[in-house]
Structure 1
């Protein structure tokens, strides 16, 4: 196997990457099958792009591609049997899209193109046969011919597309999709299927994926507000209440809503974990009184958080790590998530979870109340944008920090705690993603003018909200967005953060700090190029980075 798509990548060897088993727990078989699934998704896209140009649009195919790519994200699915099934489903969809394209071409009086690569790949019928084929589909295939720089940039485009696929899936399951987003995804996969080798062209496609990601974040923003209401500032309990309990982690608001409906009146309380924390701010979720609070911290703390939780755990999307025996039998997965031996829920039938909650002890007593405030989404921020502009003019706000992204377990992530703690009283911190758990329970107080200093914007995809607010502020202050008193510090761990980074590149935002490490697939020459071209900077020390940020606004 070879995988270097996330921050957990083993960097001890000559070639950084996980070679025998993923640090995440992914084994060689699963890794190989994931590579083949990605290969087939490219094949679907090859025909979809050409069919779309002739008016033959297969909208269901884009759902299969998004689901397939999402399944290969870090910490989503570790179940080899599920990937065998997905591979053959993708091959069948590819063949259907090919037939649609060829029919449309002939109807238009054209000879269908004879494509190669993923378009004509035929997967073997069993696991052994698939494993024998996997070498041609790996991310580093052909590195001897094209070099590490090209392979690394191809990886950047692909991994950012994986992040896009997650947002596409979350929007689609609540009925929101976009031909523009589907076409953008297909076009970029088709581009990769052609095995590009030009560095400048690849850099342009990093930006192109950023454009698609901006579109899909806007789509998901509409999907979430259209389905669950407009989030507003909300206090969330972080200490337990006595009684039976279920914990929901991941990002699936749709699954949380159905679980809330199915547990109404049962006496079972529902708690959120990790990136599900923002759910409490949405009125269609928060209206259920048995949505009791948030338990634990970011994804990497789940083994201790889940072991300490006295009820079943539901994983709705990425962030799963190997379940410990202490809670494996009371863990459930949904959607694209999977782990061998863990019960999987198809659809929204949570009867087994409810039974497990009734059979487990629940919290024995109510702990003293502890609260945090969330819910500063796009509309909430825009409603106070005039106050922020006035505070900037008056000096009550000297600087704004956007500190967010994916948390992780690697050394160096105390940087984000130190940075947030050290920001001055005349500043505001916007945060999103699970990186917020590094500092969201600290007391940040208010600015001299009385605005809350910590504004929790939501999930990682709510970067869209922060960007819209930045655009509003730049217009109100009559300045370029890069001249705002704003520092963006993006914590990356997996592919959704890479999609966000690609969006920042697409929008031309400069001097974005990202860390705590440079991705293993980005070679030193490519990183120098990204730094020179787009102003990307690595996080150094909290003290130095803070001084640089505040020095720019003196």
Structure 2
């Protein structure tokens, strides 16, 4: 096992990375190795799929399988060895189907079909032990001695960005939104990685192409969410319990939440969101269900304590699951790409087992006094305030905007984001998205001329909204994005945040503050390259960073 894909990476050794029997996320070595092999397998699918698509013979079902398979390999998603063995068998069958269709399409055009080597030629071993032996040759750091750490680091950056892209694209796909641009872009990028590229400059340039691809994916996901559930609207979300039976939904997938709400509308069971599902309350077609009563708890890293106290079943719809404690292991369910050994998995959107568990468990005995937090400031809601915001800036009532967003996590240094938000001057506005908001979203920041100082844009999945808001502000002030009184402060844990970072860089955002640490697969030379090219910054002292941001705008 070798893994360094997330911010939880073990940094104590001479070579940073999680090894040994279990990684810091709780993933055991066989599961990690099978994930590496699954990535290898889908590269093989992509080698044929990209060629078939170029001949106008795409297989969109295979493309959807690629998205789902890669999503399974993200941090804190699927920890089930048996599920990965099944996916590997399916990957070989999908690859053969796409290979045969490509061959037919080539011959129909008078062409000799190509037979790419590498992942395209992989054949699964007959048993799990054999698969694990195969995985030893396709670790993420394969070829390190030959090509060096910079090339391995950039290949890893590509792969992890693609993992984020596939996760976002899968969320859109299950809501019926997909495009040839996205499917083809993912296939092409995986096929490129299958060639084991070594040109550093080319890898850097193509990394920005991935950022642009992710922008298209996030636009697709935004259209999927708003097209299905309506544009987000500001809403107060209850954070205290309501008497009655209860189900808790965590993760990111709005489709799963919507299906559960529909299946429980007459069941006498209340539904609560957790973690990154909080923004669901901003969608009007989800809020129409009166039994969606509130949000419980905070960010993902506290789930073991919070889930233990929740008096009903828990449904995990996507990342971020961590090892279920014995106190709730028998009442947590997974669905979609999520998996944990011994935890019941609900397939095909049938949540009847979850509902039965809710009826059997006590639920909340009484209703507590209401407390709320505000959500729902997606781009439509914020842009409806654009004239007021523009006037407030011109009058000097609003001096600065801070986008404080990204992932929360368990590692030290995350109090920085609380201190930064609380240290932002009273004539500034804070936009936030992702679970990092839980560091400060219960604080009352007040208003400026009737405009809330804290605007919750949504999930990490809603980064498209934040980007569009910044673009609209730049247009309103007839300036470039980097001329705005805007500072981006981003925290990361896993691969979706890396995909968003590359999108921001590809769109021209400069001077981004990133923390609490940098990805370990970015070598010192690569960090210097990103600093020189994009003005990427590491977080420092929050008070000093706020002051520096304000000075830079004034200058």
TM-score, normalising length: structure 2:
0.99
**Which string of whole-angstrom CA distances, capped at 9 and with x for unpartnered residues, describes residues 264-303 of structure 1?**
1222100000000011111111001110100000000100
8 Å contact kept, 1:385–1:469: no
CA distance in structure 1 between the partners assigned to 2:454 and 2:259 by the alignment: 31
Alpha-carbon RMSD: 0.8
Match of 1:240 in 2: 241
Match of 1:194 in 2: 195
Matched ranges for 1:394-409 at <5 A: 394-409=395-410
Residue 69 (str. 1) matches residue 70 (str. 2): yes
Match of 1:510 in 2: 510
- For the residue of structure 1 that corresponds to 2:418, the secondary structure is helix
- For the residue of structure 2 that corresponds to 1:474, the secondary structure is helix
Match of 1:370 in 2: 371
CA distance in structure 2 between the partners assigned to 1:91 and 1:539 by the alignment: 44
1:389 Cα deviation after fit: 1.1
Matched ranges for 1:130-141 at <5 A: 130-141=131-142
1:39 Cα deviation after fit: 0.3
Match of 2:146 in 1: 145
Matched ranges for 1:63-102 at <5 A: 63-102=64-103
CA distance in structure 2 between the partners assigned to 1:461 and 1:230 by the alignment: 14
**Which string of whole-angstrom CA distances, capped at 9 and with x for unpartnered residues, describes residues 56-96 of structure 1?**
11111110000000000000000000000001111111111
**Which string of whole-angstrom CA distances, capped at 9 and with x for unpartnered residues, describes residues 211-239 of structure 1?**
11000000000000111111100000001
**Which string of whole-angstrom CA distances, capped at 9 and with x for unpartnered residues, describes residues 357-403 of structure 1?**
11111112211111001000111111111211111111111100000
Residue 118 (str. 1) matches residue 119 (str. 2): yes
1:257 Cα deviation after fit: 1.1
CA distance in structure 2 between the partners assigned to 1:205 and 1:537 by the alignment: 22
Match of 1:468 in 2: 468
Match of 1:345 in 2: 346
Residue 253 (str. 1) matches residue 254 (str. 2): yes
Residue 33 (str. 1) matches residue 26 (str. 2): no
CA distance in structure 1 between the partners assigned to 2:480 and 2:427 by the alignment: 22
CA distance in structure 2 between the partners assigned to 1:381 and 1:45 by the alignment: 39
CA distance in structure 2 between the partners assigned to 1:94 and 1:534 by the alignment: 38
CA distance in structure 1 between the partners assigned to 2:292 and 2:101 by the alignment: 47
Residue 391 (str. 1) matches residue 392 (str. 2): yes
CA distance in structure 2 between the partners assigned to 1:552 and 1:459 by the alignment: 29
Match of 2:488 in 1: 488
- For the residue of structure 1 that corresponds to 2:176, the secondary structure is coil
Residue 230 (str. 1) matches residue 249 (str. 2): no
CA distance in structure 2 between the partners assigned to 1:71 and 1:541 by the alignment: 36
**Which string of whole-angstrom CA distances, capped at 9 and with x for unpartnered residues, describes residues 188-219 of structure 1?**
11110010111111111110110110000000
CA distance in structure 2 between the partners assigned to 1:260 and 1:461 by the alignment: 21
1:110 Cα deviation after fit: 1.4
Residue 174 (str. 1) matches residue 137 (str. 2): no
8 Å contact kept, 1:42–1:190: yes
Match of 1:497 in 2: 497
- For the residue of structure 1 that corresponds to 2:543, the secondary structure is helix
Decide which moves more: 116-125 or 101-110: 101-110
Match of 2:527 in 1: 527
- For the residue of structure 2 that corresponds to 1:247, the secondary structure is strand
CA distance in structure 2 between the partners assigned to 1:130 and 1:215 by the alignment: 35
Match of 2:455 in 1: 455
8 Å contact kept, 1:398–1:553: no
CA distance in structure 2 between the partners assigned to 1:77 and 1:193 by the alignment: 23
CA distance in structure 2 between the partners assigned to 1:516 and 1:86 by the alignment: 34
CA distance in structure 1 between the partners assigned to 2:391 and 2:138 by the alignment: 55
Matched ranges for 1:279-318 at <5 A: 279-318=280-319
- For the residue of structure 2 that corresponds to 1:519, the secondary structure is coil
TM-score, normalising length: structure 1:
0.99
- For the residue of structure 2 that corresponds to 1:136, the secondary structure is coil
CA distance in structure 2 between the partners assigned to 1:533 and 1:259 by the alignment: 46
CA distance in structure 1 between the partners assigned to 2:179 and 2:544 by the alignment: 43
Unaligned runs of 5+ in 1: none
CA distance in structure 2 between the partners assigned to 1:229 and 1:238 by the alignment: 23
1:553 Cα deviation after fit: 2.1
1:254 Cα deviation after fit: 0.9
CA distance in structure 2 between the partners assigned to 1:63 and 1:532 by the alignment: 37
CA distance in structure 2 between the partners assigned to 1:421 and 1:461 by the alignment: 25
**Which string of whole-angstrom CA distances, capped at 9 and with x for unpartnered residues, describes residues 12-49 of structure 1?**
11110001111111011101100010001111111111
1:461 Cα deviation after fit: 1.9
1:323 Cα deviation after fit: 0.2
Match of 2:438 in 1: 437
Match of 1:5 in 2: 5
CA distance in structure 2 between the partners assigned to 1:481 and 1:25 by the alignment: 40
Match of 1:536 in 2: 536
Match of 1:325 in 2: 326
How many matched pairs?
A: 553
8 Å contact kept, 1:489–1:514: yes
CA distance in structure 2 between the partners assigned to 1:279 and 1:311 by the alignment: 20
**Which string of whole-angstrom CA distances, capped at 9 and with x for unpartnered residues, describes residues 476-517 of structure 1?**
101111110000111100000000001011111100111100
- For the residue of structure 2 that corresponds to 1:332, the secondary structure is strand
